Structure 1
């Protein structure tokens, strides 16, 4: 009896799971597109192919966008062995063929599942099928998994996401894991080794500054989501990002200035840039916002430092973000409904990032100032700045040392 017990115990210790994400992925915030904000459950393979085509033809791929992510409701049924299949009416060619098409465009394919028994849209979830699903996704050629948190009765988030991380590891294909449990269980405290990004809030709502109350839960406007990022920047960096949810730019309810402000602030807080609009019918103004390479460069900066709120005066917030080569991004955000005049005396500023040990030394260094939306240089820090920021808009600058 002793020998049998000893053998059993020994065998148990011979196998341990690797609960860590794939390293070396998402070293800058992921950039791509997701179907949910615009299309919800109305997804099919023809639309996804068209989105991949549009990501290339509109210049988004050239601007850095990579992922075409299918959100909820792609699912069909599980077979007798428990393996998931796509809805045969919506995806008759199968996911492998769709992944091959997306890859042929130089893009990557993302998919969606849920840690519970059912997805938020009532399709089969991955609970109890994590390893099978991960094997299936790998066989299809999936590159990104958004993993949601509906119908998770009794589960603990950290453990559930570690199970999926282990399953993806076991399947062997490097996949970006997007933790989407809405920030309820403080994923920033445990998600760094488990996933590559984690939602910090509930769902975004297509509104600049308002709340949509569903009774038992709420959706949040762009400004409300931004406010919820306070005190989280210490947790973000290359390969592990705070995710304030997808972009609402181009979905018709934000004004052009609000689109610009939304994009600028997501860049400043090093958020994933996941578009949520119809890429096939974008206006030139929407394309201009989503493909502004100078703003994207702030988001994609290799230091991976999330920006911080430096000051607030009236309706204007001042934000700074340290960048590589001792550059800095500076953004004035006017949250009010009236234009505001900005007077900025450079020599009076003491800008220090005490978490990442960066300092903007305007007293001893002259910085060139570039307006990232006007795409032009506007002087240096030798001269104090006085300008106006329109309502619900930004002035976004890059400061570069003239050494």
Structure 2
């Protein structure tokens, strides 16, 4: 009889609990409706590393408006590593009082007053890559503070993550952000080690596909236990990933190095290829001290329009001959972007016969067939029309540079 009563009691308790709902279930899905095109903005790390403070961030916010970058679509001002101070007695994080004496809420208010949005950085481990307090064990408290400050974007790194599994760790911070209630873009910075493109689309809005970039066009910097990658090395690592990208979920080949020391032609090629592969366009230079050439690259609205195309289809490499690669990106309204990229150290001629080169993109279910449809050509960087697809396109591509064409009916 006791056994029967125990079973009945257990059944009643289970039914009651079920009827009340599981109050302990977590929501591991990102905020919907954000980053429907690749995020555009600025991040402090590539130029300033740990040397960040509130005056710098305010000046950058001013510069993004004054230089026309805001009008070109740049929205986020993201403070990377080393903004952190200490946790209080309850475990809540606070900014470094010397670097950010006015506090993060006041800084966010300033950025928002410019019509921009603010991002911050944290880490899934016990410490950030710069040795500041990480979020491990404090995810929900940190998310509450970010929401209280008015943060719009979180870059979440992967240093000092001993024993953690990436998918679970990023689901935890996503659940924390959801619980805090303020919609934020989540940038997964796991370096591609655990194939975040597989599990990332429901958890975050972008995911790093590689280790860190540095300001070199075609080289590798070996740090011993890890490497930094040049622009071309990172571009090569995007092979096979385009099917995972789309509105609200993007492959992230790391931030831009435009304006950080490479010559103009390399910067132009770098910016073009990031636009072609639908990458987040997160500038990483000193916006307060830009040359007119750098401003011209970062604010070229025709190139940005290719990146921000609403279809959200990542471009692909169609062909390679010698040092010249041909890339294509399907766009809305049956338009196409076509880029001839010269990776070599000498100028190269290119000839492309549209009439004899029908191209089918099986992934996008799109066809570029100039024998059936005549397209007008627009040379995007020199901002001039370039005939139609009735004639073969001929040009000389300077060393480590690009020619970018927009095809429209």
TM-score (norm 2): 0.96
Between the aligned partners of 2:158 and 2:394, the Cα distance in structure 1 is 47
**Corresponding residue for 1:242?**
251
Matched, 1:333 2:341: yes
Give CA deviations for 1:156-186 in whole Å, capped at 9, x if unaligned.
Answer: 0000000000100010000000000000000
| Match 1:324 to one of 325, 332, 343 | 332
**What secondary structure is seen at the aligned counterpart in 2 of 1:167?**
helix
| Match 1:228 to one of 221, 225, 237 | 237
Aligned-pair distance for 1:205?
1.2
Between the aligned partners of 1:378 and 1:357, the Cα distance in structure 2 is 27
| Match 1:18 to one of 19, 27, 51 | 27
Give CA deviations for 1:3-40 in whole Å, capped at 9, x if unaligned.
Answer: 46974875783431110000000000000000000000
Matched, 1:27 2:36: yes
Counterparts of 1:4-403 in structure 2 under 5 Å? 7=13, 10=18, 13-252=22-261, 254-401=262-409
Between the aligned partners of 1:312 and 1:150, the Cα distance in structure 2 is 37
**What secondary structure is seen at the aligned counterpart in 1 of 2:137?**
coil
Between the aligned partners of 1:5 and 1:309, the Cα distance in structure 2 is 60
Between the aligned partners of 2:341 and 2:399, the Cα distance in structure 1 is 9
**Corresponding residue for 2:3?**
none
Aligned-pair distance for 1:386?
1.2
Conserved in 1, the CA contact under 8 Å of 2:354 and 2:369? no
Between the aligned partners of 1:16 and 1:356, the Cα distance in structure 2 is 37
Between the aligned partners of 1:158 and 1:355, the Cα distance in structure 2 is 26
Between the aligned partners of 2:32 and 2:403, the Cα distance in structure 1 is 36
User: Which stretches of structure 1, 4 residues or more, deviate above 3 A after TM superposition?
Assistant: 1-15
Between the aligned partners of 1:333 and 1:343, the Cα distance in structure 2 is 13
Aligned-pair distance for 1:136?
0.4
Larger radius of gyration: 2
Give CA deviations for 1:279-336 in whole Å, capped at 9, x if unaligned.
Answer: 0000000000000000000000000000000000110000000000000000000000
Conserved in 1, the CA contact under 8 Å of 2:317 and 2:327? yes
Aligned-pair distance for 1:350?
2.0
Between the aligned partners of 1:311 and 1:4, the Cα distance in structure 2 is 66
**What secondary structure is seen at the aligned counterpart in 2 of 1:319?**
strand
Between the aligned partners of 1:185 and 1:12, the Cα distance in structure 2 is 33
Moved more, 11-20 or 48-57: 11-20
**What secondary structure is seen at the aligned counterpart in 2 of 1:13?**
coil
Superposition RMSD in Å: 1.2
TM-score (norm 1): 0.98
Give CA deviations for 1:228-265 in whole Å, capped at 9, x if unaligned.
Answer: 0000000000000000000000011x110000000000
Aligned-pair distance for 1:134?
0.4
Between the aligned partners of 2:23 and 2:308, the Cα distance in structure 1 is 41
Aligned-pair distance for 1:352?
1.1
Between the aligned partners of 2:92 and 2:374, the Cα distance in structure 1 is 61
